[in-house]
């Protein structure tokens, strides 16, 4: 049985730059680097508390997921970081040069407020920030 999401792997062209992003810009705890020589791969890990898998599908056969599926097919769509103050995080990241897909957060699932960082700003990975509705989490 599946007991946890162990990790999500992102292929990055500049490991030091990406480590800095996750530590300094996103404020995650850095567990360290490990070169897996047998796999000819350098790894870096950032442990996180509990998470969820979200399946996303076009509603009424329209919307951004429809375009994504037509263009790129099924696959990993985005990572979502929970925020306790999304306005503050957006302001901070915009000041660091991050581009967002919209000007301001908009409604997401479970009454949350969400905003997406452009994949161009994050090594090709679409990253969502989500602030849960008060009372949820």
Residue burial 76-100, b: 16+ Cβ < 10 Å; e: rest: ebeebbebeebeebbeebeeeebeb
CB of 15 to Co ion, least distance (A): 26
* Closest distance to Co ion from the beta carbon of 57 (Å): 12
Comparing CB distances to Co ion, the nearer of 54 and 87 is 54
Residue 35 in contact with Co ion, rule: CB under 5 A = no
> Is 81 within 8 Å of 90 (Cβ atoms)?
no
Name the residue nearer to Co ion (CB basis): 15 or 56. Answer: 56
Helix, strand or coil for residue 117? strand
Work out how close the CB of 54 gets to Co ion at its nearest, in angstroms, rounded to a whole number.
5
Binders of Co ion in range 50-109 (CB under 5 A):
54, 80
Token pair of 105, please?
Answer: 């957060």
Residue numbers of the site for Co ion (CB under 5 A)? 54, 80, 128
């Amino acid at each position: 049985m599946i007991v946890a999401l162990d990790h999500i792997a992102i292929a990055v062209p500049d490991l030091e730059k990406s480590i800095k992003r996750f530590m300094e810009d996103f404020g995650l705890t850095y567990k360290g680097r490990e070169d897996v020589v047998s796999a000819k791969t350098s790894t870096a890990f950032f442990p996180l508390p509990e998470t969820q898998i979200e399946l996303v599908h076009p509603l009424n056969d329209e919307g951004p997921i429809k375009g994504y599926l037509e263009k790129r097919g099924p696959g990993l769509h985005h990572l979502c970081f929970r925020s306790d103050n999304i306005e503050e995080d957006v302001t901070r990241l915009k000041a660091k040069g991050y581009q967002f897909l919209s000007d301001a957060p908009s409604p997401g699932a479970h009454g949350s407020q969400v905003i997406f960082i452009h994949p161009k700003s994050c090594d090709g990975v679409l990253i969502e920030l989500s602030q849960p509705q008060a009372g949820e989490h």
